[in-house]
Chain A
Amino acid sequence: MAMPFYVSPEQMMQDRAEYAKKGIAKGRSIIAMEYDQGVLFVADNPSTSLFKISEIYDNIAFSGAGRYSEFENLRKAGIQHADMKGMMYSREDVTARSLANGYSQILGTLFSQEMKPYEVELLLAQVGETPEGNELYRITFDGSIIDERNFTAIGGRSETILTFLRKETSETRPSLNTALQLCQQAFEKGADPKSSLEGLEVALLDRTRSGRKFRRVATSEASALLS
């Protein structure tokens, strides 16, 4: 009988983490930033039909960086969970916190039990009725949840983007124009110097809307906001 090789759990986890990180590093970045009337999402995404930012429920948005097929699966699962929960209880009972928990469970299990971990990082945001009620969660490939304030970023160049944003932002929530400007600068300086507005996907969770708060911002509208 052939003896299986012994690999220490530390080594195994480290290898997997490295593998997942490598995959994510190849992916483009996404920023979520609170502004005075909601949460702004900006993704480095040249495609106008394959979205990285998506609506999950009335006041919850999702975005994923890394391998498309994997975060797309997670996005669908999130929508199914949210719609089912909203139907079983009430629309207000669907929260980003419970979704983030669900994602963390799935990713954690996949990371420790599957041959290949998911090479994804997720960003989940819920716009509250007041600015203080906003919630931002970053979920990493191994299932860790990080509860963020003001802004956060995921994807390949997230570290450089975050360094830039930490330097440039103040404690108060900026207006939409300022927030969008900051995000664009962050992509220019932190990720891709050639980054143009056409290559950005912009979406909002807008508190002032009634019902479904999620809204995509077309390039023309985004450039109007910046001028």
Chain B
Amino acid sequence: MTPDKIPFPNFSFDPCSSFYQFLSAQRPELLPMARWGALPAQHGSTQLPLSNQLPPWPHGTTVLAFTYQNGVLIAGDRRATEGYQIAANRMDKVFQTDEFSAMAIAGAAGPCVEMAKLFRIELEHYEKLDGKPLTCEGKATRLGYMVKANFPMVLQGLVVIPLFVGYDQKREVGRLFKYDITGGRYEDTEFHAVGSGGKDARLTLKEHFRKQLPEDKAVRIAIRALYNAAEEDVGTGGPDLLRKIFPLVKLVDGHGVRDVEDTQLATICQELLSEERES
């Protein structure tokens, strides 16, 4: 018997309060992943153009996240590059997604921003339809599905790799999730960094990360890791004191998500640079 002939009522028509599912069914052309279908097939074949045949598109990035005393911290640099050019130096790669969660993304800028936007709507949509927000785990799983759906674009080089952090109100801890390009979701209890400078940031974090770091130390380490990544990687921008461009740092704890103020970031960056000068 085919599923549509099941003789008892079923919920299969319900998109499970997911805006992403709703959009996939109703208006698939609005999905960020719809882009690949719109590309013309080459020479009559169904083969999609490969990444090296495409013109350069804005790229990033170093974004990192780690747990600290009150919850979890997430931060990112502000640079986007397009080939050998700098496309933007005030880009936001860290997004608040709801009251108790945030995400940061590395990869092709356009799809990244679109995915963050869609994910924010996804969480809000669920909360409105179901009457209460998704659990931290549920949010992380949803994001995994969206990364998985993005896989056809990965084959063309339009990679989107997110980091997701949230405060789990039930367990009262900050949690951190990383993803691979296929949508695989892995929880990390300590730290992680992704993007072209991710490895450099991870090295710094490996050295300085301790469990239960106090907030001020945590922010300092995040800036240090991003600074070191910017030193090593062309795709990552360092703090720009002249134009007052600083990395974006968000703290997620039991009270919600908040940005670290620019004035505080400026002081930390100043101190860091003078330390460098002295050494």
Contacts and interface: CB of A to CB of B under 8 A. Distances in A.
Question: Are A and B genuine complex partners?
Answer: yes
Interface of A: 49, 51, 54-56, 76, 79-80, 83-84, 86-88, 212
A212 B128 CA distance: 11
Contacts of A80: 19, 22, 125
B131 A84 contact: no
A83 B131 contact: no
Contacts, number: 29
Contacts of B266: none
A145 B177 CA distance: 47
Given A51-B131, A76-B129, A84 B124 contact: no
B259 to A, nearest CB: 13
B149 interface: no
Contact of B30 (A49, A55, A79, A84): A84
B117 A79 contact: no
A213 B133 CA distance: 16
Nearest to B122: A83
A84 B27 contact: yes
A84 B128 contact: no
B121 interface: yes
12 contacts: A51-B131, A54-B128, A55-B128, A79-B129, A80-B125, A83-B19, A84-B26, A84-B27, A87-B118, A87-B121, A88-B30, A212-B124
B273 interface: no
A5 to B, nearest CB: 33
B30 A83 contact: no
Interface of B: 19, 22-23, 26-27, 30, 117-118, 121, 124-125, 128-129, 131
B128 A87 contact: no
B22 A87 contact: no
A86 B124 CA distance: 12
Given A51-B131, A76-B129, A88-B30, A83 B117 contact: no
Nearest to B127: A55
A87 B129 contact: no
Nearest to A86: B121
Contacts of A56: 128
Contacts of B118: 87
B131 A79 contact: no
A88 B118 CA distance: 11
Nearest to A88: B30
Contacts of A49: 131
A54 B26 CA distance: 23
A55 B23 CA distance: 20
Contacts of B131: 49, 51, 54
Nearest 8 CB-CB pairs, A to B? A79-B128, A83-B125, A55-B128, A83-B121, A83-B19, A87-B121, A80-B22, A79-B129
Contacts of A83: 19, 121, 124-125
A83 B131 CA distance: 16
Nearest to A216: B131
A87 B117 contact: yes
